[in-house]
Amino acid sequence: MIHAPTISGATARPTALEVDLGQLAANYAAIAAHVGPDVKVMPILKANAYGHGLVEVGRLLDGLGAPMVGVAYLEEGLRLREEGVRSPILVLGGIVGEQIPDFLDHDLTLTASSIDKLRAIEDCASVMGKRAKVHLKIDTGMERIGVHWHGAERLLEASLACTHVDVDGIFTHFANADEADLSHARLQLERFEEVCRFYERRSLPTPLRHAANSGATLQLPESHLDLVRPGILFYGASPAPCVAKTIPVRGALRWVTRVVYFKVVAAGSPVSYGSTWSPTTQTRVVTLPVGYGDGYPRALSNRAEVLLRGARHPVVGRVCMDQLMVDLGPAGTGYNGDEVVLLGRQGDLEITVEELAAWAGTIPHEILVAINTRVPRVYRGHE
C-alpha cells in the first residue's frame, strides 16, 4: 500500500481517496471478456484518470499489457511517458501546430481531425526525419472535432499521399450512446461504416476502427468494431441511469475522512452558511474536514448522505469550502476520529458515485474528476 504523504510523522490529512488498483484490473478484465478476443480495449485516462491518478493507473495498465490507452491532452501523454509508461498512447483531443514535435519526440499518437492538421503533421515529421502515428477523426454527428462524414473521403485520400504519416486508426464519437433511444447512435455508426468502406473499395487494409465509448460498449455491441474506449465504465460506473451495467465492474474508490468535532445543536438553531437547515428537535451534529475545496460539490448541501458507524446520516446545512456537517439525530453516536465514508463502502453499506451524482444533479464523470489533488491518494490491491 502507498500511503498519503506525511508531515512530521503524522498523516497530512484525515481525508484521503483510497484507490483499489486490483478492482481496476478486474474491471479491465471484465470489459475485455465482454467484448471478446477480437476487440481491443483502450481505457481512457484523461482528467487524472477520472480522479483515480493518471500515473498510477497508467502504470497498472502498462503492466496488464493494455494495447493502448487514451488521454485528452498532450501534457497527459507526456506525463505518462516521463513516468515510464510505454504502452501506445492516443491523444484524443485537438492539437495546435507547435505541439506536433513533442508528439513525435515521445512516440505519442495524434488525432488528425482535418486535412490542414494532417498536412501540418506530415510537414513536421518530414522536417524532423520521423514517422508520425495518427488516427483520423470523423465527425458523424457530434459537431466537436473531426471532418464531417459526408466530406471525409478527401481526408482519407490526403492521408494516402502522406509519406511520413502512418494511419494506425480511424474513429468517431457517439453523442447519444448512453440514451435509451439509440436511433441517433445507430445513424452515426452507419455513417462511420460507410466512411470506412473507402478502404474496401480501394482494396486497401482498413486501419483500426473504433467508435464505442462506455455507453456503446454496454448497449450497442455492433459498434465494438476493432477497439472500444471505456471511460467511466472502466472506473466501475454506468454512464447514465438508463444504461444497465451489464458488465460486472465495480467502483474502485473509497473517499474517507474522520470526525473532527462533535456538538449538540438545539432545536431551531441553524447550521452553516445561509441558515438553510435547522433541527426540529435537539440533535447531535459532527463536523468533517472536507468540502467543495476538495471537490465535494456544494450542490450536495442538505441532500447527500455519508456512512458513519454502519449507518447512513444526512449532510446538513451548506457544504463549506473546507468543512461540512452531518446530523446524527437525537440519539446518534459519533466520536472524534471516527471514520466517515463519503464515497464507497463501509461494512455492508455503500454510497455509489451514481448516488452522489443524482444528489448533485450531475453525472458520475463530473463527481470523479472534481476530486482534486488536495485529497491525498492511497493505492492498494495490486502490485
**91 vs 20: CA distance, rounded Å:** 26
Strand 349-351 and strand 89-91: the pairing is: unpaired
- For residue 349, pLDDT beyond 60: yes
Q: Where in the chain do CATH 3.20.20.10 domains reside?
A: 39-228
| In the predicted structure, residue 1 carries a pLDDT above the cut 80 | no
Kindly report, residue by residue over 223-274, the tens digit of the pLDDT: 999 999 999 999 999 999 999 999 999 999 999 999 999 999 999 999 999 9
Mean pLDDT of 313-327: 98
Q: What is the pLDDT of residue 381?
A: 85
Mean pLDDT of 68-82: 98
Mean pLDDT across the chain: 96
Pick the range with the lowest mean pLDDT from 111-125, 214-228, 368-382. Answer: 368-382
Parts of the chain belonging to CATH 2.40.37.10: 253-380
pLDDT greater than 50 at residue 157: yes
CATH code for residues 253-380: 2.40.37.10
Q: What confidence tier does 383 reach under pLDDT thresholds 50, 70, 90?
A: low
Place of cell 492521408: 159
Count of CB atoms situated within 10 Å of the CB of 67:
13
Task: Read off the pTM.
Answer: 0.95
| Mean pLDDT of all residues in 306-329 | 98
Q: Which residues contact 290 (CB under 8 A, 6 or more apart)?
A: 15, 257, 296, 322, 323, 324, 342, 375
d(CA 103, CA 70): 14
Q: What is the DSSP secondary-structure string of 178-230?
A: TSS--HHHHHHHHHHHHHHHHHHHTT-PPPEEEEE-HHHHHH-GGG-TTEE--
* Mean pLDDT of the 76-100 span: 96
pLDDT of residue 35: 98
Fold of 39-228: TIM Barrel (3.20.20)
Query: What letter would DSSP give residue 67?
Result: S
What share of the chain has pLDDT > 90, as a percent? 96
Q: Which of 138, 130, 122 is nearest to 106 (CA)?
A: 130
pLDDT at 13: 85
Q: Is the pLDDT of residue 152 over 70?
A: yes
Helices and strands (H, E) in the chain, number of each type: 11, 21
Please say if the pLDDT value at position 3 is more than 50. no
Rounded distance, CA 336 to CA 258, Å? 7
C-beta of residue 134 within 8 angstroms of C-beta of residue 166: yes
Closest C-alpha among 283, 340, 349 to residue 316: 283
Give residue for cell 442538505: 302
CA angle 90, 93, 94 (to 5 degrees): 120
* Angle (nearest 5°) at CA 346 between 341 and 350: 85
One-letter-per-residue 3-state SS of 259-316: CCEEEEECCCCCECHHHCECCCCCEEEEEECCCHHHCCCHHHCCCCEEEECCEEEEEE
Q: Are 229 and 210 in contact (CB under 8 A)?
A: yes
Does 8 score more than 60 pLDDT?
no
Residues noted as catalytic: 46, 273
